[in-house]
Chain A
Amino acid sequence: MVNYLYDSSFEGLLTSIYEAYYRRETPNHIFPYNYIQQSLIDSNIHIATNLEKASKVYESIHRKISYQALKNVYHAYLSELNDIEIIILNYLKLGFKKGKEIDLHLSEDNVLAIHTAAKKVTREAHLMLGLLRFKQLENNIYYAQYKPDHNITTLISSHFVNRFSDQYWVIHDLKRHYAAVFDKNSCVFTDISEQKILSSLNNNDNYEKLWKNYFTNICITERINPKQQKNYMPKRYWNFLTEKQL
């Protein structure tokens, strides 16, 4: 049994797919480096990320399958679900056979799994466009923390680049220690530590109080329905919602 280990970047994953094709072998798993699982019978192969190989795969997905398939693969990759890498490989294998009609085969297990994973990611990304809360720091930077299930920071940042084009802002993924930073001109993605920011958090923002006040008063008490509320806005996101803090 062969396992591939890659550096958990999208390019790394594409390189692994390239290798799987040209070594004519089917890896049992494709793991990120940091996924440590020793086994006596499996042999692990480290895949060094190679941009040239990655871009070949990227181009051929676009050309031979479809742009939609490329998008599906990228979104599925961002889902970080267990063993999604191997499903991506199987999806692409089928895709290179079937061409652009691959996404019509909805009852095919691998296609279905990719669509479900991609859907999870785009859904959470859309939900976060609304649920992300910015805090105004003293130096007039707007700072948002969150812990999304999937790695969606790159997906959602373009929305905020368009929307808040006249303010400095940071979107910080606490789970992955990853952030998008915008300086009114361009958006940069970087690894970031938590402590730096926390010291300058302003806990005395009058608008936060106003917002909490608004949140309580807009509810019609005769129609109270916590189940529906949790359906739309799962409780795991409440930690970072201003209106749900006491």
Chain B
Amino acid sequence: MELQKKLEILSAAAKYDVSCSSSGSNRKNTKGGLGNSSACGICHSWADDGRCISLLKILLTNYCIYDCAYCVNRLSNDVPRATFTPYEVAGLTINFYRRNYIEGLFLSSSIIKDPNYTMEQLYESVRILREEYNFNGYIHLKAIPGADLSLIEASGKLVDRMSLNIELPSSKGLQLLAPQKTRKNILKPMSFVNSKIVETKDNRRFFKSSSRFVPAGQSTQLIVGATPDHDLKILRLSEGLYKGYGLKRVYYSAYVPVSNNPNLPTISRPPLLREHRLYQADWLLRFYGFSSSELLDEEHPDFDTDFDPKCSWALRNINLFPVDINKSDYEMLLRIPGVGVRSARKIITARRVKQLDFDDLKKLGIVLKRARFFITCKGKYYSSIGLDEMQIREVLADKSRKSHDNWEQLSIFTNMVELPTLEDKLMSLVGEI
């Protein structure tokens, strides 16, 4: 098969993997070698769906022995199939890299023959790049659940990031949609990789020359909306993964309907807003000092569609506000809706030399659309409406509704709001019905 055709099939098959980040590793170039990685990561393009393209994201093969209902590459699906040889993968990567199209390679694969064989092929592609082509760019490799741990270890020494996709947030969902996979099989290599990362980090503190192991950490992906699981369940799982397995990132992927299996929900569009809310909450967990129990509980197991997670938290805990910009500490500044890490740092810097007032905040570029309801500057409250949960809720929701553009044309036949008549007003005054 021609290389063009193969690339077409195997990039289209890989597109549902969301991860594309190239950050977290600062691998240096070697003498006479090619490439390095930049710790902050670099995006090289943005596809028409607005997602960034940083790495050459391809599958080694899309022939699969598994039949997971949510997956486009499942055994029973009738799609064109192809397989790259390890040398083709390496050649593509090198030539794209030299033209500055990409930051490196993200290589994944369907399971061909058995997990071990697949992992060997993945290892071979990476080995060729590192050893034969002297390639020092970023490599993200998918580890195959069920493959021998020694294979995973050998690959881990060559790559920058490794990932194992959990995909479905509950064991029940896994049983229903991917009966050939088990939770244990995914978590075992994950905790193995984590222990290796911790071990090498320890070693490198004493022996600078000792080899690296997955320096950019590991990540995973969860599908949102393929199972009836609530946001609470997903967020708790992520929190557990960050704490227990030291993951760098959990990615969320809105389920794109690729099958009409009766066990899957019938939806017309991927739940993008829900995915967005989960990412917002994920950031709150990692950079803002929130815990999942603060954001969601059994009574509110799903995120509000009108407000971002931080805003709904603030509205529920209105007693903690208003916060004074000039006095409160960094942790509390971060909890003001609309104030992010960058804004909070700016405030901390600027207030060292001057008491800030409302105009100063505007100059600093702090977004005050939401923040103005929750702050005071020099003891003064600037919003025209009081610190009242319901009123703030109304003003903010009104704005978000307007911006969503989902108003509808009223007709005289639809239910008109009934205005109180004079009689009603009288009744409410005297209290008689």
B154: A residues at CB distance < 8 A: none
Q: How far is the CA of A112 from the CA of B256 in the complex (A)?
A: 45
Question: B354: nearest residue on chain A (CB-CB)?
Answer: A107
Given known A130-B45, A163-B36, contact A106–B56 (CB-CB < 8 A)? no
Given known A105-B353, A207-B96, contact A163–B29 (CB-CB < 8 A)? yes
Is A220 in contact with B99, judged by CB distance below 8 angstroms? no
Prevailing SS type, chain B contact patch: loop
Is B99 in contact with A219, judged by CB distance below 8 angstroms? no
Q: How far is the CA of A206 from the CA of B49 in the complex (A)?
A: 25
A242: B residues at CB distance < 8 A: 99, 101
Q: How far is the CA of A210 from the CA of B58 in the complex (A)?
A: 13
Is A107 in contact with B33, judged by CB distance below 8 angstroms? no
Interface residues of B in 315-359 (CB under 8 A from A): 346, 349-350, 352-354, 356, 359
Residue of A104, A129, A223, A243 touching B270 (CB-CB under 8 A)? A223
Report the minimal beta-carbon distance from B69 to chain A, rounded to whole angstroms. 18
B349: A residues at CB distance < 8 A: 103-104, 106
Q: How far is the CA of A218 from the CA of B8 in the complex (A)?
A: 9
Q: Does B269 contact A (CB under 8 A)?
A: yes
Is A135 in contact with B99, judged by CB distance below 8 angstroms? yes
Q: Does B35 contact A (CB under 8 A)?
A: yes
- Could you count the A-B residue pairs with CB atoms below 8 Å apart for me: how many are there? 156
Q: Does A126 contact B (CB under 8 A)?
A: yes
Is A214 in contact with B42, judged by CB distance below 8 angstroms? no
A224: B residues at CB distance < 8 A: 48-49
Interface residues of A in 144-185 (CB under 8 A from B): 144, 159-160, 162-167
Is A217 in contact with B8, judged by CB distance below 8 angstroms? yes
Given known A167-B98, A210-B3, A211-B101, contact A105–B48 (CB-CB < 8 A)? no
Given known A106-B364, A164-B34, A217-B12, contact A232–B43 (CB-CB < 8 A)? yes
Q: Does A215 contact B (CB under 8 A)?
A: yes
Prevailing SS type, chain A contact patch: helix
Interface size on B, residues (CB 8 A): 59
B101: A residues at CB distance < 8 A: 133, 211, 242-243
Q: How far is the CA of A246 from the CA of B406 in the complex (A)?
A: 36
Q: Does B308 contact A (CB under 8 A)?
A: no
A126: B residues at CB distance < 8 A: 40, 42
Q: Does B262 contact A (CB under 8 A)?
A: no
Residue of B103, B254, B363 touching A107 (CB-CB under 8 A)? B363
Is B47 in contact with A101, judged by CB distance below 8 angstroms? no
Q: How far is the CA of A217 from the CA of B51 in the complex (A)?
A: 13
Interface residues of A in 203-246 (CB under 8 A from B): 207-211, 213-215, 217-229, 231-233, 241-243
Is A217 in contact with B98, judged by CB distance below 8 angstroms? no
B7: A residues at CB distance < 8 A: 210, 213-214, 217
Is B352 in contact with A220, judged by CB distance below 8 angstroms? no
Report the minimal beta-carbon distance from B366 to chain A, rounded to whole angstroms. 11
Is B3 in contact with A225, judged by CB distance below 8 angstroms? no
Q: How far is the CA of A133 from the CA of B44 in the complex (A)?
A: 9
Question: A184: nearest residue on chain B (CB-CB)?
Answer: B32
* A/B interface sample: 23 pairs, CB < 8 A: A101-B353, A103-B349, A104-B350, A105-B350, A105-B354, A106-B350, A106-B363, A129-B38, A129-B42, A133-B99, A142-B99, A160-B100, A163-B29, A207-B92, A210-B3, A213-B11, A214-B11, A225-B50, A226-B48, A229-B49, A229-B50, A232-B46, A241-B45
A130-B44, A130-B103 given. 18 additional CB < 8 A pairs?
A106-B363, A112-B363, A130-B54, A131-B44, A134-B98, A163-B29, A165-B33, A167-B98, A214-B56, A218-B15, A219-B48, A221-B49, A225-B50, A229-B46, A229-B48, A232-B46, A233-B46, A242-B101
Chain A residues within 8 Å of B, Cβ to Cβ: 101, 103-107, 112, 126, 129-136, 142, 144, 159-160, 162-167, 207-211, 213-215, 217-229, 231-233, 241-243
